Structure 1
Amino acid sequence: MCNFPACSLVDSFIALPVIAAERVVRRGQLLSPMATARVTVLPSLRCLFDDPVEIRVAGLLPQQAVTLRASLVDESGELFQAHARYRAGSSGELDLSRSPALGGSYLGVEPMGLRWAPMGLLWALRSKAPYKRLAKRNVLTPFCVDLEVYEGHEDMSRLLGKCTNERWFLGEGVKRISVREGRLKATLFLPPGPGPFPGLVDLYGSGGGLVEYRASLLASRGFVTLALVYMAFEDLPAMPEVLELSYFEEAVNFLQKQPQVKDTGIGVLGLSKGADLALSMATFLPGIKAAVSISGSSFNSFIPLQGDGFTLPAHPYDLGRMKTSDKSGLVDFSDILDDHRDPATWDCRIPLERSLAKFLFLSGLDDKNWQSDLYCQDAPQRLQRYGREAEFCSYSGAGHLLEPPYLPLCQASIHKVLGMFVHWGGQWREHAKAQEDAWCRIQAFFWRHLMDSDIPKGKL
C-alpha cells in the first residue's frame, strides 16, 4: 500500500451534522433533516492512485434507498462523475464490497479484484462531454475524488454525507527530476532510499509529449523510472522523419549511471508506438534485460528507425483505408496497415529473436485503433520458432489504452498529433479488470527479471 501517513478515524470521514429544525442549503444542495450519514474510505483518505480502497457508509436508516456519487475535476476543469444506487442493510450501513448496485453507472456487486477492493465509482467515471480522456498532467498534485451519498434513487438534491479521497501519483519520498542532458528530454523518478532498485524506461505512443503519471506510479512502487519523450515536445517534431536509435541508447546509458539502479540490466515499457520502440531497444541495444509491449506490434510502425549502419523502415500503411463513422466522426485505423504476414513487409520486422531479453506482450481484444492482439501474437509465435519463450496475455473487452488501474476507460479521444478523434475501443467493466491484472503482471514481470525476486511485500 501507499506510504502516506494514515488518517485517524476522525480524519477518515466528514460527517454532516444532524439538522433538527430546518433544512439548509450548502453549495447549492438541500440537506436532509436526517443528514447523519458518515462516508468512510479505508484504509485512508490519502493514497496512491493505483491503491484500492473500501468505501462504506454508516448512519443510514435500515433499508434506506440512497445514491452514491463520485466526482472528479481534472486539471482542465472537466468534470468526471459516476453514480450507483444502493439500499442500506438492516443496521443502516452500506459496504460497497458486499452491497449490490441497483442501477446507475454499473450494476451488481463488483467481484473482489486482485487487490481486494471494488472500485466501480472510479473506473466508471466519465465526462458529459464526449471523447474526453482522464490523464494526469501534474503528478505533484493529487486527483481529489468527492464521494457523496444522497437520499433516494431519483432526486439527488438531499445530501446526507460526503468525504474526499485524495489519490496521488507520487508516493512519499519519491523524487521528480527534470532531465535535459545531451539530447535527452525526460523526467527521472527516484524511489526513496539508496536502492538498488530496478531501472525502467517508460515510453508512451505516437501522441508524443511528456507523460509522467505511469512513471511516477512505478517509482512509487520501487522502480527508478525514466519517462522519456521522443516526439511532439519542445523542439522535437510532432512527426519526425526518422527516429534515431542512439537517442534511446542515451536514455539507457543515463539510467545505468544512476547509483540507485541495480546494475544487472534495464527494463523498458511501451504503449502503442512506444511498444515497438521498446522491442527495438531490447533487440538492438545492450543492457536491456526485460521489455513489455502494451497494444504494440513486433514490426516498426509509422516512422523509420535509424540504427548504427542500418535503418528499419516503417511498416507500409495506407491512410486511404481508414474508416470514419458517419454518426460519431470517430476514426478507425485498424485496417490501414498492410498485412504483416506478407513477406513483402518482413524487412520492417524487429528481429527480436536476436535479443537475450525477456518479453511480455499485452493486448485488448476490443482494440479499435489497430489489430494489436493479432500483431502481439506474432512476436511470441516467432520467438517460439527460435526456441524462445515469451509471456503473452490478451484481454476480452479491453481496448487500446491499457493504463494503470482505476483510470477510467477512454473509448475515444483526439489524437494530439493527427488532430483526429480516434476510436480506442473497450468495454467499461472488462477494461477496468484488464488494467488491474496488467498492472500486477507488469510489476511482477520486471521484479522477476530485473531483480530475480518476487515483488517485495508492500510494493504492490
Structure 2
Amino acid sequence: MDLTVTLTPGPRSLWDEPVAIAVHGLAPAQRVTLRASFLDEKGALFQASALYEADAGGQLDLARAPSLGGSYSGVEPMGLFWSMKPDKPFWRLVKRDVQTPFLLDLEVYEGHDPQPSKLLTRVVHERSFLRPGVRRIPVREGSLRATLFLPPGSGPFPGIIDIFGSGGGLFEYRASLLAAHGFAVLALAYYAFEDLPKDMKELHLEYFEEAVQYLKNHSQVKGPGVGLLGLSKGGDLCLSMASHLKDITASVIINGSVANVGCVLHYKDMTIPPLKSDLKRVKMTEDGFADIVEALNNPLEEPNRESLIPIEKAESCFLFLVGSDDHNYRSEFYANEAAKLLQASGKKKPEIICYPATGHLMEPPYFPVCLVSFHSLVGKPVIWGGEIRAHSMAQIDAWKQLQAFFHKHLGNDQITHSPQF
C-alpha cells in the first residue's frame, strides 16, 4: 500500500479552521516523525515536529494517536500547527497580505532520530485568510484608512470595528477571518499607515467616531449599532469609544486597560492624558527581556484617575477576554475593576473570561504563541507571558466566545458555522 497523507477538509483551509491529519500505508507500529513548516512573508521559518507510532494496522490518526515527544506530547490533533516556533528570535507571526495563503509543508520522516533524514512523503497545505466570496474593500473615505470585509451573501450583516495594539499600521487578518463567520468587519488603522500620523503621541476620538458612523451607515451593515473588538491598546481605545461615542452596542476587550495608555487622547474640548508609569518598576529577566507589567501606575488611585476611562457612561455590552499571565497589562485586575465601575453606576455586569497560563498576545486560533517580541513603545524586547499549550487553547476558545457574544448582541440571521472552501 502506498504511503499517503490525508488532510480534512482538503488541500486548503482557512487559518482558523481545524485540520484532521492522518497517515496511511505505514507498517504496523512503525515509528515516524511528522514535521510541519512554512515561511512567513518576511522569510522567517516557522516549524514544529512530533514523534508518532502507527497502530497495528499501519495507520496514524492524529486525532487518536499521542505524540511521544517533540514540540508537544499527547493527543493533540492540531499540535503541529499551534506549537510552531520561529527560527528568528523575538519574532511574532503577522499576516500582512490576507489575499495570499501561507503554504504549509507537512513531511513524514522515518524513525525518531533528532535530525531525521529519510523523507517518506510530503504534502503541501494552503492556509488562507480570505474565504472565497468574502469581499475585501479598501476604505479611503474622509480621514479613514481602513479595509472593510463583507461576508458572502446579500446582507445586511452585523458590523464590527477591529482595532489592534500600539504597533501601528493596518492589520487585516483578524477581520478577514471574522468575515467568514458572517460579520462585516472594518479593520481600522490609526497611526503609522499611509498619511496617518507616523507616531502615537496624540490621537483624536473624532477619527474613531468617523469609523463608527461609516460602518453604521453602510448599506451592508445591520444596525442599529456596531460592535468593537480591540486588543491591548486597541482595547482601551474601544473602551474610550464605547464610553464617549454613540451607536456602540457590543464591545470585546482582549487584554486591555481601563485607562488611556501610551498617548494623549482628545475628544471635542476634552483631553485625556496617558496613564503615567515608572520605569524603575520595569524588571529585566536574566535573558535581557523587559517585564513591564508593574510599570504602569494604578489608574484607580489619585492622581492617576484623570487617565481612567469613564466606562460608567457606556451603553455597550462588554466581554473581557484576559490572560491570567499577561505581562503587559494587569488585564484581569482591569477587567474586574471595569465590572465594579459598571455595576456601581447601575449598568449590566460585563462578561469576563480569564484564561489560566495565558499571556498578552491573544490571536485567532492556531497562531504560534509569541512569548517575547519587540515593543514599539518600550523600545526593547518584552515578555508577554503565557505557556504555549495553555495560551493556544485559550486562543481557540476565545475565538468562539467572541463570535458567540457578537452574534448574541448584534444579531445575525446569516450565521456561517462552517467557513470552508
Q: Per the shorter chain, which TM-score range?
A: over 0.9
Q: What SS does the aligned partner of 1:104 have? A: coil
Q: What is the aligned counterpart of 2:8 among 42, 61, 65?
A: 42
Aligned position for 2:153: 193
Q: What is the letter of the counterpart of residue 46 of structure 1?
A: R
Q: What is the aligned counterpart of 2:399 among 433, 436, 439?
A: 439
Q: CA deviation at 1:301?
A: 1.1
- For residues 141-163 of structure 1, the C-alpha deviation after alignment (integer angstroms, 9 at most, x for no partner) is 00111111111000511111121
Query: Is the CA contact (8 Å cut-off) linking 1:210 and 1:228 kept in structure 2?
Result: yes
Aligned position for 2:225: 265
Aligned position for 1:343: 302
Aligned position for 1:71: 37
Q: What SS does the aligned partner of 2:274 have? A: coil
Q: What SS does the aligned partner of 1:216 have? A: helix
The answer to whether structure 1 residue 88 and structure 2 residue 54 are counterparts is yes
Structure-to-structure mapping, 1:10-159, within 5 angstroms: 36-110=2-76, 118-154=77-113, 155-159=115-119
Q: CA deviation at 1:201?
A: 0.5
Query: Is the CA contact (8 Å cut-off) linking 1:444 and 1:454 kept in structure 2?
Result: no
**Partners in 2 of 1:243 and 1:430 — Cα distance?**
35
Change (3 A) 1:181 1:453: closer
Query: Is the CA contact (8 Å cut-off) linking 2:291 and 2:383 kept in structure 1?
Result: yes
Structure-to-structure mapping, 1:172-321, within 5 angstroms: 172-321=132-281
Aligned position for 1:330: 289
Aligned position for 1:4: none
Q: What SS does the aligned partner of 2:50 have? A: strand
Q: What is the aligned counterpart of 2:385 among 404, 425, 433?
A: 425
Q: CA deviation at 1:418?
A: 4.4
Q: What is the letter of the counterpart of residue 288 of structure 2?
A: G
How many residues get paired?
A: 418
Q: What is the letter of the counterpart of residue 293 of structure 2?
A: S
Q: CA deviation at 1:189?
A: 1.1
Q: What is the letter of the counterpart of residue 344 of structure 2?
A: R
Q: What is the aligned counterpart of 1:383 among 337, 342, 366?
A: 342
**Partners in 2 of 1:183 and 1:417 — Cα distance?**
24
**Partners in 2 of 1:49 and 1:59 — Cα distance?**
28
**Partners in 2 of 1:287 and 1:354 — Cα distance?**
13
Q: What is the letter of the counterpart of residue 226 of structure 1?
A: L
The answer to whether structure 1 residue 360 and structure 2 residue 319 are counterparts is yes
Q: Report the TM-score when normalising by structure 1.
A: 0.88
Query: Is the CA contact (8 Å cut-off) linking 2:257 and 2:329 kept in structure 1?
Result: no
Please provide the CA RMSD for this pair: 1.7
Moved over 6 A (4+): none
Query: Is the CA contact (8 Å cut-off) linking 1:443 and 1:455 kept in structure 2?
Result: no
Change (3 A) 1:403 1:90: same
- For residues 257-309 of structure 1, the C-alpha deviation after alignment (integer angstroms, 9 at most, x for no partner) is 21110022100100000001001111111111001110101111121211122
Q: CA deviation at 1:416?
A: 3.9
Q: What is the letter of the counterpart of residue 248 of structure 2?
A: I
Change (3 A) 1:240 1:43: closer
Q: What is the letter of the counterpart of residue 160 of structure 1?
A: L
**Partners in 2 of 1:373 and 1:319 — Cα distance?**
22
Q: What SS does the aligned partner of 2:303 have? A: helix
Q: What is the letter of the counterpart of residue 337 of structure 2?
A: D
Query: Is the CA contact (8 Å cut-off) linking 1:206 and 1:417 kept in structure 2?
Result: yes
Q: What is the letter of the counterpart of residue 50 of structure 1?
A: D
**Partners in 2 of 1:84 and 1:134 — Cα distance?**
21
**Partners in 1 of 2:414 and 2:333 — Cα distance?**
30
Query: Is the CA contact (8 Å cut-off) linking 2:104 and 2:124 kept in structure 1?
Result: yes
Query: Is the CA contact (8 Å cut-off) linking 2:182 and 2:415 kept in structure 1?
Result: no
Query: Is the CA contact (8 Å cut-off) linking 1:448 and 1:454 kept in structure 2?
Result: no
**Partners in 1 of 2:60 and 2:336 — Cα distance?**
44
Question: Unpaired runs of 5+ in structure 2?
Answer: none
Q: CA deviation at 1:91?
A: 0.3
Q: What SS does the aligned partner of 1:103 have? A: coil
Query: Is the CA contact (8 Å cut-off) linking 2:158 and 2:412 kept in structure 1?
Result: no
**Partners in 2 of 1:234 and 1:92 — Cα distance?**
55
**Partners in 2 of 1:392 and 1:318 — Cα distance?**
28
Aligned position for 1:7: none
Question: Unpaired runs of 5+ in structure 1?
Answer: 1-17, 19-35, 111-117
Q: Report the TM-score when normalising by structure 2.
A: 0.96
Query: Is the CA contact (8 Å cut-off) linking 2:374 and 2:382 kept in structure 1?
Result: yes
Change (3 A) 1:138 1:55: same
Q: What is the letter of the counterpart of residue 88 of structure 2?
A: A
Q: What is the letter of the counterpart of residue 96 of structure 1?
A: L
Query: Is the CA contact (8 Å cut-off) linking 1:291 and 1:358 kept in structure 2?
Result: yes
- For residues 66-113 of structure 1, the C-alpha deviation after alignment (integer angstroms, 9 at most, x for no partner) is 010001111111111100000000000000011010000001113xxx
Q: What is the letter of the counterpart of residue 89 of structure 1?
A: D
